[in-house]
Amino acid sequence: MYFSLKTENRQRAEQIKKHLDNKYELERFGIFTPSDIIVRDVKNQWIQFIKHDKSDNWWMDNLYKLDQFLLDYGQRPVASIQTNDINNYIAKLKNRGLAPNTVLNHFKPIRQMLKFAVSSGFIERNPMDSALLPKAKEKRRFGAIPKEIIVDIFSDKSIELKHRKFWKLCYYTGLDLTDAGTLQKHNINNGIITLHRKKSDVPVQIPIHHKLTFNIINLMPDKNKRYGSSKLLKKQLAKREISGSIKNLRASFISHLHDSGLSAQDIKIAVGHTSEKMTAHYTTAQIDSVRRSINTL
C-alpha cells in the first residue's frame, strides 16, 4: 500500500524524510527530493531526448539561446534555479535592447528544457511558470512592397550583385532567408525546387522563375551575411520611403501574383505553401502552367 505525506514546513519534512529513510523507500511516500544535476547536464539530456524531432532550422534558431542561458546558470544545480533567477535573466535581455516578442522567443527553448526537467523528476515545478515575462506585442504584418520599387532595387547597380541576386531569389520563390541561402543541388531538378518539411509529409515544390538565371545553389550559406543582406535591403527601402525587409518579399510576390490574376490555389504552389486542405501532390503539368503564369511578371 502506498501513502502520500505533504507538509509545507521544510524542517518537519526533513525530519519525516530522515525517519522514513531508515526503513522505507522515500518515493513511496511522495516526498520530493531535489536533484543535484546541473543545468548543463539537463540541457544535454534534453538534447538527446529531442534530437530526432527538431528541424535544422530549429537547431539554428534555438541552440544558441540555450547556450547563452547556460553561460549564467549552466553550472548551477537545476533545483536551485528559482523564479527570481528567471526574472533577472529577463531583465538582462531587456537591457540588451531586445523587444518583448524577442525576449519571449528567447525563452521558448529554455521553458521546454525546464519542462523536461520537471517531467524527469529533477525539479518539482517549472520556475518560469510564475516569472514576470513581458507581454507579447501583436506580430508585425509584412506588407507588400510596390512592384516598381522592387524592380528599381533589383536593377540598381550601385548595390553589390550578390545581394541583389539573393533578394531576387527570395522574391521569386517566396523562400525565407535560410532556405533561400542554403539550397542544395538535390533540391533542384527540372526547373523545380523541392523542399521537405518536418511539419508536412507533402514536399514543397516551387517552380523556378525564368529571371533566376544565376546559380541559386548555396547562394548565401553564412547566417550573419544573410541577416546583413536583410538589413541592407531595409536601408535601400528606407531610401525609397518604404518600410520593410527581406521578409516583405514573400508577401510582395504573393500580392503581385494575385494582381496578375493568378488563382489562390496556383499562388500556393508558386510560393510553396503547405496545408492539409491542399492537394496532396501537384502534377508536373500544373507546375509548368504556374511557371508560365508567374513568368509574365
What integer is the mean pLDDT of 248-270?
A: 76
pLDDT at 16: 61
pLDDT tens digits, residue range 42-67?
999 999 999 888 877 788 889 999 99
pLDDT at 289: 58
Please work out, in degrees rounded to the nearest 5, the angle formed at the alpha carbon of residue 274 by the alpha carbons of 273 and 277: 115
- Residue 169 grid cell: 531569389
Q: What's the pTM?
A: 0.51
Question: How many CB atoms within 10 Å of residue 163?
Answer: 19
> Given a cut of 70, is residue 122 above it in pLDDT?
yes
Backbone angles phi, psi at 77, to 5 degrees: -60, 135
Q: Percent of the chain scored above 90 by pLDDT?
A: 44
Q: Are residues 287 and 263 in the same domain?
A: yes
pLDDT at 144: 84
- Residue 189 grid cell: 531538378
Q: Are residues 247 and 264 in the same domain?
A: yes
Residue 142 within a domain: no
**More confident of the two residues 38 and 139:** 38
- Its sign, for the CA torsion 100, 104, 107, 109, is negative
Q: Are residues 155 and 253 in the same domain?
A: yes
pLDDT at 140: 53
Domain count along the chain: 3
Residue 136 within a domain: no
- Its sign, for the CA torsion 217, 220, 226, 230, is negative
Q: Are residues 78 and 157 in the same domain?
A: no
Q: Percent of the chain scored above 70 by pLDDT?
A: 74
Q: Tally DSSP H helices, then E strands, for the chain.
A: 12, 3
pLDDT at 279: 33
pLDDT at 163: 96
Range of the domain at 10: 1-33
Q: Are residues 289 and 152 in the same domain?
A: yes
Measured CA to CA, the distance from residue 134 to residue 177 in angstroms comes to 27
Q: Are residues 97 and 47 in the same domain?
A: yes
Residue 141 within a domain: no
Residue written as grid cell 521553458 = 111
pLDDT at 162: 96
Residue 137 within a domain: no
What integer is the mean pLDDT of 132-145?
A: 73
What integer is the mean pLDDT of 155-161?
A: 96
> Do residues 281 and 202 touch, judged by C-beta distance below 8 A?
yes
Residue 219 within a domain: yes
pLDDT at 282: 36
Q: Are residues 173 and 247 in the same domain?
A: yes
Residue 213 within a domain: yes
Residue 283's pLDDT band, with cuts at 50, 70 and 90, is very low
Residue 86 within a domain: yes
Among 126-135, 251-260, 286-295, the least confident range: 286-295
> Do residues 173 and 180 touch, judged by C-beta distance below 8 A?
yes
The domain spanning residue 110 has which CATH number? Answer: 1.10.150.130
Tell me which residue of 131, 135, 124, 39 sits closest to 86, measured CA to CA. Answer: 131
Q: Are residues 155 and 283 in the same domain?
A: yes
Q: Work out the mean pLDDT of the chain and round it to a whole number.
A: 81
DSSP 196-233: --TT-SSPEEEEPPTT--S--TTSS--HHHHHHHHHHH
Q: Are residues 202 and 87 in the same domain?
A: no
Q: Are residues 191 and 107 in the same domain?
A: no
Last residue of a domain, one of 100, 130, 160: 130
> Given a cut of 50, is residue 277 above it in pLDDT?
no
Q: Are residues 255 and 154 in the same domain?
A: yes
Q: Are residues 104 and 227 in the same domain?
A: no
Residue 13 within a domain: yes
The domain spanning residue 233 has which CATH number? Answer: 1.10.443.10
